[in-house]
Amino acid sequence: MIRGNKKSSRAKSVFFLVITGLLWSTGGLLIKNVDSNPLAISGVRSIIASLVIFAAIGKPRFTWSFSQIASALAYTITVILFVSANKMTTAANAILLQSTAPIYVALLGAWILKEKARLLDWITVATVFGGMALFFFESLDSRGAIGNVLAAASGVSFAMFNIFMRLQKDGSPMESVLMGNILTAIIGVPFIIGSLPSLSGWVRLLILGVAQLGLSYVLYSEAIKHSTALEAILILMIEPILSPLWVFLFMGEIPGKLPLIGGAIVIGAITIRFIFRTMAGKPIFMKYSVPKRFFKRDRS
């Protein structure tokens, strides 16, 4: 009976992870089709997501600890940078450059988390930075180049978000995400003045807030309780794969050859490192592998 319950929970977690990856992958397409200021998009999306997450939490517990506040700030920076990058460069560049976050976790983790980096980590870091370099050899106008820089910066801020989430000892990471969305809303919503989207834009903003950001985090928080870190990272790799695909199918946006090669190098290197470290009994922390102790209540 217990084994049956475990299998059922595992199957449900895999299903939730697939749905989460699908929801996350729609971000680039939806953001590009909202005719508004990037800060306004970030703010409106986050205020809607805040309502969804608040409903999931029930009664939030804000401790105002350094880690909780730092996580919220890093989350806010990440959201704003990622939306801005999607408006200025291709969806493929935006998501693939942000997907370098685990490498910065490896680099910064040795300093902040006191986690020793191994030879495999440094080889992966060198490989990923080599892949990233290919993004900037693409022929882009100044706006596209700035978009690439913003996307790369979002990878750094997302890594910091993960690190500060891991540093929390009070079991309140979901509140950090809620706090981050509220802060993003405060910063971004005023920019809606003079940049009102069309009716279809408002519909896309609603989808972004409810499904792509709010519901996805709720599903992810439940799924990660019953799945291994390896399962999570491999299943959720559908996000950087599908995100540029949706934009290509519905908008005809074609990524450059060099960024696609660079993206394949980045994703491949991170996945191989993750598999080898997991097989060695040293699971690493990244976007999709939040330690289970952070889920005593609801979400990371």
Q: What's the pLDDT band for 274 if we cut at 50, 70, 90?
A: confident
Residue 4 maps to a domain: no
Least confident of 30-34, 56-60, 256-260, 286-290: 286-290
Residue 3 maps to a domain: no
Domain that residue 233 falls in: 11-295
Q: Is pLDDT above 80 for 112?
A: no
Confidence (pLDDT) at 281: 59
Q: Give the torsion through C-alpha atoms of 133, 241, 276, 158, to 10 deg.
A: 70
Least confident of 89-103, 195-209, 280-294: 280-294
Residue 300 maps to a domain: no
For 238-252, the pLDDT digits (tens) are 899 899 999 999 999
Residue 197 maps to a domain: yes
Cβ 121 vs Cβ 64: under 8 Å: no
Query: What CA–CA distance (Å, rounded) separates 37 from 42?
Result: 9
For 8-28, the pLDDT digits (tens) are 777 888 899 899 999 999 999
Residue 259 maps to a domain: yes
What is this structure's pTM?
A: 0.83
Residue 173 maps to a domain: yes
Confidence (pLDDT) at 124: 85
Residue 2 maps to a domain: no
Tell me how many domains the chain contains.
Answer: 1
Confidence (pLDDT) at 295: 36
Q: Give the torsion through C-alpha atoms of 25, 109, 296, 228, to 10 deg.
A: 60
Residue 263 maps to a domain: yes
Q: Which two tokens stand for residue 233?
A: 């990272």
